[in-house]
Amino acid sequence: MWRALVVIGAALTVPLAPIVVFAGALTGPQLQSQTVSASCAGWAGDTPASVELDAVQMDRAALIYATALDTGAGPAGAVVGIATAMQESILGAHPASRTPNADGDVGLFQQRSLVGWYADGTTRQENLQILADDAYQARTFYLGHTTLTGWHIPGLIDIVGWQDMSVAQAAQAVQVSAYPDAYARHEGLARTLVALFAGQPAGLANCGPMDPSLDCAPTGMPSEQGQTADALRVMRCIHAKWAQIRSLLGVRPGDPRDHGSGRAVDVMIPNYFSPAGITLGTEIAEWARTNATALGVTYIIWREHLWSTARAEEGWRRCGQTASCYTGPDPSAAHLDHVHISVHGTQGTGTTSIGSGAVVLPVDRYRLTSRFGDTGPRWKKAHTGLDFAAPTGTPIKAVTDGTIARTSSVGAYGNLTTLEADDGAVIFYAHQSAIHVTVGQRVAAGTVIGKVGATGNVTGSHLHLQVRVGGIPTDPERWFRTRGLTP
The pLDDT score that the predictor gives to residue 324 is: 92
Which fold is adopted by the domain 367-481?
Glucose Permease (Domain IIA) (2.70.70)
Q: What angle do CA 420, 424, 425 make, to 5 degrees?
A: 70
Contacts of 457 (CB under 8 A, 6+ apart): 411, 412, 413, 414
- The helix (run of H) or strand (run of E) holding residue 36 is strand 34-37
Averaged pLDDT, 225-240: 92
Q: What is the pLDDT of residues 185-232, one digit of tens each?
A: 899 899 999 989 988 887 888 887 777 888 898 999 999 988 988 999
Chain centroid offset of residue 321 CA? 37
* Residues 372, 384 contacting (CB under 8 angstroms): yes
Averaged pLDDT, 339-351: 84
- The helix (run of H) or strand (run of E) holding residue 302 is strand 297-302
- The helix (run of H) or strand (run of E) holding residue 153 is strand 152-153
Residue 365 pLDDT greater than 90, yes or no:
no
The pLDDT score that the predictor gives to residue 353 is: 56
Averaged pLDDT, 377-382: 64
- The helix (run of H) or strand (run of E) holding residue 74 is helix 74-89
The pLDDT score that the predictor gives to residue 478 is: 81
The pLDDT score that the predictor gives to residue 379 is: 58
The pLDDT score that the predictor gives to residue 46 is: 59
**What is the dihedral angle through the alpha carbons of 437, 439, 445, 448, rounded to the nearest 10 degrees?**
10
Q: 76-110 burial, b if ≥16 CB within 10 A, otherwise e?
A: bbbbbbbbbbbbbbbbbbeeebeebbeebbbbbbb
Nearest residue to 153 (alpha-carbon basis) of 124, 122, 116: 116
Res. 356 pLDDT band, cuts 50 70 90: low
Res. 26 pLDDT band, cuts 50 70 90: very low
Q: Which residue has the higher pLDDT, 106 or 487?
A: 106
- The helix (run of H) or strand (run of E) holding residue 89 is helix 74-89
The pLDDT score that the predictor gives to residue 160 is: 87
Highest mean pLDDT pick, 39-48, 103-112, 189-198: 103-112
Residue 387 pLDDT greater than 50, yes or no:
yes
Contacts of 125 (CB under 8 A, 6+ apart): none
Q: Helix, strand or coil for residue 301?
A: strand
**Considering the chain, what percentage of its residues have pLDDT values greater than 70?**
89
The pLDDT score that the predictor gives to residue 102 is: 92
The pLDDT score that the predictor gives to residue 313 is: 81
According to CATH, what is the number of the domain 34-197? 1.10.530
* Residues 350, 210 contacting (CB under 8 angstroms): yes
Residue 309 pLDDT greater than 90, yes or no:
no
Contacts of 403 (CB under 8 A, 6+ apart): 419, 420, 440, 441, 442, 443
Residue 165 pLDDT greater than 90, yes or no:
no
- The helix (run of H) or strand (run of E) holding residue 167 is helix 167-175
The pLDDT score that the predictor gives to residue 11 is: 26
Tell me the domain boundaries of the chain. Answer: 34-197, 212-343, 367-481
Averaged pLDDT, 281-306: 93
**Considering the chain, what percentage of its residues have pLDDT values greater than 90?**
57
